[in-house]
Amino acid sequence: MRSFARSLWRHLALPRAARQARASDRQGLAGLDPGAEVACAAVLDWLHQAQDSMAIGGISAGFSLIDGWAAPDAVATAAALPVLAGDPDRIGQATAWLRATQQEGGSFPIPGSEHSKIPTLTRILSGMIEAQQVFGGFDDVIGPLASFLVAGQGDDGDWGSGSSAGVALDTYTAWALMDADRVLPDAGFGDAGLRGAVRILQRIRRNGWIVNCSYEGEPTPSSFSLGSVLHGKIGAYRHTGDIRFLDTALLTGWSLVAARRADGALPGRMDSHWAATVPWTSLTGNAQIAICWLQLFQETSEPEFLEAAKATNAFLRRSLSMTGEAAEVGAVRASFPINRGDKPYTYSALAGLLTLKSLKLESAVDAQQISRLVEAR
């Protein structure tokens, strides 16, 4: 009785918007799929709000139904640069904020231990490289940041600092350094990346499970962590042509296809048998893995990867908030239902950016398929 009373009190203490979102999610996903075009436009509008809310150029990490807009976030801002292409004012503001935020030595101010910062810094580097490939002009940010990551690499190729927790996530860092080598080919980034990437080959089990893929303190890996490592393996294959990276990526990719729920989403956390350990789903993880499935389809033409990505993207579209307060329309939840997961009652900028990227990649893959059919006639 006391437990029920405490639960009721916590619920009633929530802001009205949080109570409404929780009640809505308890009824399940909306039946209406707005379609890729409408969904992408809505997410982009929300990301514009996330930038405007800060008034200093950086993009907010997200919007909490309890605490409001979060502080500007270097990961979200870097990842958003390619999305903002065609809007010089927004690009200029975001770029100026990133340059002002970057520290001497190339790093960015991120809380946590030196090791725990690595995946976050890698996301920033990845976003800046993608922006460089779209419209150039970021060598001065990419070079120092990539050099900072190389300086933190151990003699064994890892960034684990002697800790086993999360070392598989170094694969994403290794791939990002390989990508940085395309931008600055004479800085040794590619060699450092390859040295780190080959380590993942020792951490894949026969069922595709990735050993040491959770952060310190996490009970089991999140779908986002698993997807990040998978993305790194695919990137390493595309950079090197080494079939071992593709083989291990396929092992993990197939196991993730089998791990999907009936609604097309993936569990928010999984154990080494690919079984769900939590009842919620991470939309950030779903979008990251859908991107990987689409990339694997591009490499193999296996239809199951395309079907899985389409089903997960449909889930992401249906989960979009299309009504409510301005800060909710076009927003992507960090998790579904919104009151669960690592960031309850939060709409995430990174989840929105990855969803946008996944939906656009699906459209590009569909266009490629149509083009091939036409050419075959």
Residue 314 has pLDDT above 50, yes or no: yes
Q: Span 110-120, mean pLDDT? A: 76
Closest CA to 321 of 313, 331, 312: 331
Pairing state of beta strands 346-348 and 62-64?
A: antiparallel
pLDDT at 161: 45
Q: Span 89-111, mean pLDDT? A: 94
Q: In whole angstroms, how far apart are CA 110 and each of 74, 135, 158, 343?
A: 9, 27, 20, 18
For residue 236, what pLDDT band results from cuts at 50, 70 and 90? very high
Residue 252 has pLDDT above 50, yes or no: yes
Write the pLDDT tens digit of every residue in 292-304.
Answer: 999 999 999 999 9
Q: In whole angstroms, how far apart are CA 207 and each of 227, 291, 346?
A: 16, 21, 33
Give the type of residue at 247.
Answer: D
Say whether domain 35-376 belongs to CATH 1.10.3720.10. no
Q: Enumerate the domain spans of the chain.
A: 35-376
Calpha distance 72→98 (Å, rounded): 10
pLDDT at 372: 75
- Contact (Cβ atoms closer than 8 angstroms) between residue 92 and residue 84: no
Calpha distance 52→59 (Å, rounded): 8
Write the pLDDT tens digit of every residue in 328-364.
Answer: 999 999 999 999 998 999 999 999 999 999 999 999 9
Write the pLDDT tens digit of every residue in 181-215.
Answer: 999 999 999 999 999 999 888 888 999 999 888 77
Calpha distance 128→124 (Å, rounded): 6
